[in-house]
Structure 1
Amino acid sequence: MTQHVTEYRWLLPGGLRDAPPKERPRVRRSTRDWIVDTVIFLLAAGIGLLAAVEIQGNLDLPKPVRIADQLIGVVSCASVWLRRRWPVGLALALVPVSLVSEVGGGAGVAALFTVAVHRPFKHAALVAGLNMATVPVYLVMRPDPELSFRAGLAVMILALLVVTIWGMLVRARRQLVVSLHERAERAETEAELRVEGARRLERERIAREMHDVLAHRLSLLSVHAGALEYRPDMPPDDVAKAAEVIRSGAHQALQDLREVIGVLRLGAEETVPDRPQPTLSDLTGLAEESRAAGMDVTLDLKVTGKEEVPARLGRNAYRIAQEGLTNARKHAAAAPVSMVVAGGPGDGLTVEIHNPMTEGQAIPGSGTGLIGLTERAELMGGRLEYGRAPDGRFRLSAWLPWAA
């Protein structure tokens, strides 16, 4: 299919088919091309054979003329195999042949059809016009005993018009196929760019959030280090505790810094924190905020060891819940929304949001928010799923790892 689409692309206006012969790449014939060429050759040969039988029965023609007609017709039928390489040249060469050889008439029709399929309208009109101009001369040289001059002229011109229009319709259909194929490729490329842009923006946002957490840790380190500097007479136990806090904070800060480097792949652009970053304890306030906006939100918080939730885990869980409630408010504003947050150290943290969907309702929107949430969960080593649940409601489910 790809090879045929590549070849059909030559048929587009300004394509390679319309380019000079030296600029056209040679394309090997496919199995389909061989079958089509064989069928057209057999049709041309069959028309020529019928004409040859008729010539043999026409005793008014001298025998040398009949023999010459058949020989010229055989050569014309054999030349049909060149129709893909030189379609216009072959068609023009067969125009005068049709005046002297009835057997070569089928080859002339095949050449005209080829030009109408593979060349622009001006070439097809030129070849068709020359063939029609030779029809009166042919009827004068070889009148049909069963038809009058006018009737024969009308029949032959009509046949040439039918062949030309048929070829042009085939060309138009192939151009449509190529156009639709290119449009589909362009739409797929644009969709990939949108997804990549959403991922890039989400990574930048995550990096900004992690920048705030890192700044907070470094501030704590500075406070404890300053206490050691200004209070050298502190008791040994207090010094040991401060050193432990500094050591643990430095280790966590180093981990955060590595995560920032891994997430932010766009260079060293300076970022500014937008606002203090949320934690898991802020989910209650988020639910209350949604209720104040008119939503019917039910929050079921079943988390073991809420005080031990890591900052990064709580921040990502909050962002997932926030985006889920935002989607529910957009697409099911008046419907009740249930949110369940459960888990504990070693089991991970699960965030599930359900909201009803009307029958036949499609999930609207560009989907970039959900793409960003998926990227956020995967960067943390978790997973996120969304879609229509078996009960007909829309379900957003995320699982995030929580080390014991």
Structure 2
Amino acid sequence: MTILRPATPVRDRLADLALMAVSVLGALAIAGAAEQGGQLTGDALNAAFGLAVLGTVALWFRRRYPVAVTVVLALLLTVTDLVIVAVLIAVYTVSALRNWSTRAVTFGASLLIYVPYSVLLPAPALSAFNANILYVALMSLVMAAGSTTRARYEAIVGLYERAERAENEARERAERLRVQERQRIAGEMHDVLAHRISLVSLQAGALEVRSDLPSGVAESVTGIRLQSHRALEDLREILGVLRAGTDTDGLRPQPGLADLARLVAEARAAGTEICVDFRATGDPSERVGRTIYRLVQEGLTNARKHAPGRPVEILLERAGAREVRVRLRNALASRGGTPVPGSHSGLLGLAERVALAGGRLSYGMRRVPEGGVVFQVEAWLPWPA
């Protein structure tokens, strides 16, 4: 079984080249000693060295086919001992990458294969017995080194797996905390907002059935009741999203550019004077249309809250070949009156929504050419040609 380890192909290939160089140097050293001792000379020496070079080339594939490379080199060892360094490298690779049974078989086969050669062609300076003892010692050394490398790799893999498990557990714990926080927020919103909006709707309904109200007041009361009912529906959907997570399946279709006329009509019915100038034509994406709707909705809400009774100008026009400009202006509120409390986060959230749609937003006090100062919200959003 091959163990897993961090992928470092460049380092692995450099190590392969270094070990191949060691194999060639070892073959040269053994060939030089054999030639000096008269064991190999002439064509026999050249043929043996050629086999050693062939065995060295086979080391390039030792990581992918460690057992096959070891078998090939062991067979070459029956002919010449110039490949002995390459055999040691191959046995080290098997020890590092394969299980105990494969290592034991490879170790035993490599030892047995060398015995006939050491008896038939003993080294000049060593007897066959001493040569085999030295070979067993070298084989044991590389087996131990390979086993140590394997243990190190397994420890690294274990650390990677534990770190991954810890990261997954931390992610799951964070998700659980987010779900709990969403449920807590949903509960608080239901306890506070739903109760108060329901009271507004009930009180408006009670006023609506009275016959002594002036016609204008009766229409306003009807508008309050309808808007309270819609606010409750929106609140229920938001609470459903908070409780269920980020999945929005089953929600009503979100408003878009086609719903702007209804939004403006509702604002006018509530008493806001609005001047609309829509010049842009085309079919924007669903996200851009929804962003424009929310932009106008937030602008009208802010105008009613902070500048009641002041007219609002809405402009929608092309700004270049691939952009549309949305601008809302309203005069500043007159001094006096009771200020409406605000969270001061609506425009920040709107800026984030515009940025997610691929646009940009600016807002603040502006001096107009006609004279005076207005509050202006202006956005540029992508719009197909």
Specify the TM-score bucket, using the shorter chain as the normaliser: 0.5 to 0.7
2:197 counterpart of 1:217: yes
State the AA in 2 paired with 1:86: Y
Q: How far did residue 62 of structure 1 move?
A: 6.2
What is the 5 A alignment of 1:197-276? 197-212=176-191, 213-229=193-209, 231-233=210-212, 246=225, 249-250=228-229, 253=232, 256-257=235-236, 259-260=238-239, 263-266=242-245
2:106 counterpart of 1:106: no
Specify whether residues 258 and 86 from structure 1 end up closer, same or farther in structure 2 by C-alpha distance, changes over 3 A only.
Answer: closer
What is the 5 A alignment of 1:1-400? 10-12=2-4, 30-61=9-40, 63-212=42-191, 213-229=193-209, 231-233=210-212, 246=225, 249-250=228-229, 253=232, 256-257=235-236, 259-260=238-239, 263-266=242-245, 345=341
TM-score, normalised to structure 1, is 0.53
Specify whether residues 244 and 105 from structure 1 end up closer, same or farther in structure 2 by C-alpha distance, changes over 3 A only.
Answer: closer
Specify whether residues 178 and 380 from structure 1 end up closer, same or farther in structure 2 by C-alpha distance, changes over 3 A only.
Answer: farther
- Give distance in 2, aligned partners of 1:256 and 1:142: 93
Deviations 1:18-45 (A, max 9, x none): xxxxxxxxx9x83212201100100111
| Equivalent residue, structure 1, for 2:296 | none
Q: How far did residue 82 of structure 1 move?
A: 2.5
* Structure 2 alignment gaps of length 5 or more: 250-339, 352-385
CA RMSD of aligned residues (A): 3.8
- Give distance in 2, aligned partners of 1:198 and 1:63: 80
State the AA in 2 paired with 1:137: P
Specify whether residues 268 and 58 from structure 1 end up closer, same or farther in structure 2 by C-alpha distance, changes over 3 A only.
Answer: closer
SS at match of 1:100: coil
Maintained 8 Å contact 2:77/2:114: no
Q: How far did residue 150 of structure 1 move?
A: 3.9
Q: How far did residue 61 of structure 1 move?
A: 4.8
Deviations 1:289-339 (A, max 9, x none): xxxxxxxxxxxxxxxxxxxxxxxxxxxxxxxxxxxxxxxxxxxxxxxxxxx
Specify whether residues 144 and 237 from structure 1 end up closer, same or farther in structure 2 by C-alpha distance, changes over 3 A only.
Answer: closer
Specify whether residues 380 and 216 from structure 1 end up closer, same or farther in structure 2 by C-alpha distance, changes over 3 A only.
Answer: farther
- Give distance in 1, aligned partners of 2:40 and 2:106: 29
* Structure 1 alignment gaps of length 5 or more: 1-8, 16-26, 270-343, 350-377, 382-404
Q: How far did residue 71 of structure 1 move?
A: 2.5
Task: After superposing the two structures, state which structure 1 stretch, 220-229 or 44-53, moved more.
Answer: 220-229
State the AA in 2 paired with 1:226: A
State the AA in 2 paired with 1:217: I
Maintained 8 Å contact 1:135/1:157: no
| Equivalent residue, structure 1, for 2:284 | none
- Give distance in 2, aligned partners of 1:117 and 1:221: 76
Q: How far did residue 89 of structure 1 move?
A: 1.2
Q: How far did residue 263 of structure 1 move?
A: 3.2
Deviations 1:88-110 (A, max 9, x none): 11211221321321211122112
- Give distance in 2, aligned partners of 1:108 and 1:96: 10
Q: How far did residue 215 of structure 1 move?
A: 4.0
Deviations 1:41-78 (A, max 9, x none): 00111100101101111225564443332232222222
